Chain A
């Protein structure tokens, strides 16, 4: 997609003290600098998340310090910690209750894959089985710098979103779902164990010999 403004002309104008922007840049600039996370923590990663929001690491520098206690006001869900199967339906329901546009950071090994508890009977093996994840942070737990890095990656991602055209942002596409089915408690596992429309793990081919 071609840029609506010629970059050379833009920088030329900027040297003369004229700042030209587009609606899309202004919109993304505003949104990426005031991402309000949903206030909840699941396990030890939440301690790192709290440290990130506190004064030493200061998430406020990136506009993400306004942790909201209600999903109605939140833009970002930081899945910070082990998602147990007991908790997974609530997480998905909270995600469903967030207004669009909404983003998810999967923080730590547990939220990505179940981490050290992957073999456990009661731990969900990755939150991306039920909701779409934008940024994954490895670590057990990830340090606050890693969460800041994930936050900046998310900001970069928001900055690249298009308002118009075929590949415009998912929340602007009418056919893209905003809510995902909430899993139910089954006899031995959550039903279904993963959302087949969403969960496409990479198939790794084992090297023979």
Chain B
């Protein structure tokens, strides 16, 4: 009986499992039997380029930063959409034109909001 044409997939699966797991097991065994066991406080500490780590890694940003998010959307993300819009301008159907106008209006509203909040005045 001829072997199944998909038999090589099983072989591949086996190779795909053994190939990464075997070096890991060998490395673990090497560590287990040959590593000079000298742990320490600094050695087990978080690596931050030689500086002692300070505080928690899981910090939350305050909701006050929403103004930065609006400004980022207006001046950074908008340009990503505007450049392809400008390139494909002549070939656009009417629906797409309206869609990008709505998008621009929404961002314009954000700009007006940020302006009225005084975000665009340079802090002295």
Chain A: residues with CB nearer than 8 A to chain B?
70-72, 89-91, 93-94, 96-101, 171-172, 178-179, 182
Contact = CB atoms under 8 A, between A and B. Distances in A.
B36 interface: yes
A98 B47 CA distance: 10
Nearest to B44: A97
Contact of B38 (A70, A71, A171): A171
Given A70-B47, A97-B47, A182 B42 contact: yes
B43 A179 contact: yes
Which secondary structure dominates where chain B touches chain A?
loop
B52 interface: yes
Interface in B74-118: none
A39 to B, nearest CB: 11
Contact of A93 (B36, B38, B50): B50
Given A89-B50, A91-B50, A96-B43, 17 more contacts: A90-B49, A90-B50, A90-B51, A93-B42, A93-B50, A93-B52, A94-B49, A94-B50, A96-B40, A96-B42, A97-B43, A97-B45, A97-B47, A97-B50, A101-B36, A179-B43, A182-B42
Contacts of A172: 36
Interface residues of B, number: 12
Given A100-B36, A101-B36, A172-B36, A179 B50 contact: no
B49 to A, nearest CB: 7
Which secondary structure dominates where chain A touches chain B?
helix
A14 B36 CA distance: 33
Nearest to B49: A90
A179 B50 CA distance: 14
A97 B49 contact: no
Contact of A179 (B36, B41, B49, B51): B41
Interface in B29-86: 36, 38, 40-43, 45, 47, 49-52
Given A100-B36, A100-B38, A178 B50 contact: no
